[in-house]
Structure 1
């Protein structure tokens, strides 16, 4: 790991340590009332399956007093991790962009958008690709924050360059958060060991 990676991780872990354990209450767009009239609103849009990306979105949202939008598929992904992996692979292989539960009607209000997502199968999840395909980000500043299970950012730069071609992009925060996969593999191995 690089020193930059360690410093970023320490900063986020310090910020996360200050959070309460209560679940973040989110609506499709949750506006903050403490912003000045002249400050253009900032949007934090995110998709999170296991909660890792949601926690980071919450830290950014509170620090910037931004609006918050959770990207949710119209039909939820399965609760089972491996079924979700299989469905996401099928969507990716067939170039399916699943419909969203909600769209952001007033995307034009925002000049800066923080976009958070986990890497699925070395790429941007299909539901996030749906968000990018259905919302015009031309002329906006897009700042990605990406979580992954140990394989890095995959082809996310290429996907963002294609689906948000008119947006300016900052270098993303890329952070390893592989707890769900490791937990699932550990429990599966344990069960196999005690059954044999």
Structure 2
């Protein structure tokens, strides 16, 4: 596997500062660039729950003047984190491919596809599985970028390779990012300490 041209780990890490500054895609409307503009041969497709993957997608979109596509399911995942974890587990265990809200209008027109997603339950999230089974990426260069909460990439790289076997897959960018569960656990511990004093 070779490194994606023009990208450095520093570029992507620097982009993580954008949410703190109130800049970038974290505040942009969902799926602003859902359909190909026809001007770019590069697509950045991504799934993001907490916003970490979205920030990386935004930097890639700007760097390559790429079209941007947010992977969203027709039936949204719950707002509650624990409920989302449970649904994601059910989808993983059943190898589900939940329908997407939209698809890329003309994926055949792209030469390069950056594909971003978080790791859910040590596996490829079901919506990304749907994206890969409903969009033919044969003969394209596929560049994964993956965020995780501390447990690594699990089986996701192998799943991407299996589902996009006709693509030339480059080495993924992998970043450990904040995990919602850890945040919830820390808040719970804090509340247990302060509640007796309330």
TM range (shorter): 0.7 to 0.9
Pick which of 16-25 and 115-124 moved more: 16-25
| Structure 1 counterpart of 2:22 | 21
CA–CA distance in structure 2, aligned partners of residues 195 and 179 of structure 1: 24
CA–CA distance in structure 1, aligned partners of residues 50 and 18 of structure 2: 20
Q: Return the TM-score normalized by structure 2.
A: 0.85
Q: Which runs of 5+ in 2 are unaligned?
A: 1-7
CA–CA distance in structure 2, aligned partners of residues 14 and 49 of structure 1: 20
| Structure 1 counterpart of 2:158 | 158
CA–CA distance in structure 1, aligned partners of residues 160 and 13 of structure 2: 27
CA–CA distance in structure 2, aligned partners of residues 120 and 156 of structure 1: 9
Q: Deviations over 1:73-123 (max 9, x none)?
A: 001111111110011001111111110000112000001000000000011
How much has 1:183 moved relative to structure 2? Answer: 1.6
Aligned Cα RMSD in Å? 2.0
Query: Are 1:16 and 1:59, in contact at CA under 8 Å, matched by a contact in 2?
Result: no
CA–CA distance in structure 2, aligned partners of residues 150 and 15 of structure 1: 20
| Structure 2 counterpart of 1:62 | 62
Query: Are 1:149 and 1:178, in contact at CA under 8 Å, matched by a contact in 2?
Result: yes
CA–CA distance in structure 2, aligned partners of residues 121 and 131 of structure 1: 18
**Alpha-carbon distance change, 83 to 18 in structure 1, aligned in 2, over 3 angstroms:** closer
Q: Return the TM-score normalized by structure 1.
A: 0.86
| Structure 1 counterpart of 2:4 | none
How much has 1:148 moved relative to structure 2? Answer: 0.2
- Count matched residues: 183
CA–CA distance in structure 1, aligned partners of residues 188 and 162 of structure 2: 38
| Structure 1 counterpart of 2:3 | none
SS in 2 for 1:122: coil
How much has 1:57 moved relative to structure 2? Answer: 0.2
SS in 1 for 2:45: strand
